[in-house]
Structure 1
Amino acid sequence: MRPYEMMVLFHPELEDHKAAVDEVGELIKGIGGEIVKVDLWGKRRLAYPIQKQGEGFYAVYAFNMEPSQVKELRRRVRLQSSVMRHMLVRPDV
């Protein structure tokens, strides 16, 4: 398993951000990843509008996953209606 970090930008008008954060966490676990840390940055102003929104709720996930499963994770996160943007990287270790 390799380490990955994923920043997820959630829609700011969600009623329950905690549920959306947990839902993405369950996606990671369901594909076979193990979550090391979830860092909630909260609601922040965006540099430019995304989907006509000026702010978003940020969460950063640190997790381990098999490289073969990353493509499936990206696909599933993209399908989440609560997610406006995401970025997945392999950190320098």
Structure 2
Amino acid sequence: MNKYELALVVNAKIEDEARAAVVEKAKGYITRYNGVISEVEEWGKKRLAYEIQKMREGYYYFIQFESDAACPAEVERHIRIMDNVLRYLVVRKDA
């Protein structure tokens, strides 16, 4: 099992419940593909480096998880089409 980190930037203009639902959905995709979530960091609302979809701010989340090599591609495939996700990135962490 490899260690990965999923970085999510979520739309800042939606309600707290909707934002929590987006994060829970992303966590659900990780567990669906046999990933084990170890930590979820919420960095809160931050100013974006540049405007994305006419928005200047977003909520940042970092989800640490362990999984086999196929899981990150599947998670990215699902997150790519999610509403309210401005940017995402899955990176492998070195041991």
Normalising by structure 1, what TM-score?
0.93
Corresponding position: 1:39 with 2:47: no
Runs of 4 or more above 6 Å deviation? none
Q: Give the number of aligned pairs.
A: 93
Q: CA RMSD in A?
A: 1.0
Match of 1:81 in 2: 83
Q: How does 1:1-93 map to 2 (within 5 A)?
A: 1-15=1-15, 16=17, 17-93=19-95
Identity among equivalent positions (%) equals 34
Whether the aligned pair in 1 keeps the contact of 2:4 and 2:64 (CA below 8 Å) is yes
Normalising by structure 2, what TM-score?
0.91
Aligned equivalents of 2:10, 2:67: Cα separation in 1 = 22
Aligned equivalents of 1:68, 1:18: Cα separation in 2 = 26
Q: CA deviation at 1:69?
A: 2.3
Structure 2 residue identity aligned to 1:13? K
- Give the match's secondary structure for 1:67: coil
Q: Which runs of 5+ in 1 are unaligned?
A: none
Per-residue CA deviations over 1:21-44 (Å, capped at 9, x if unaligned) read 111111111111110000001111
Q: Which runs of 5+ in 2 are unaligned?
A: none
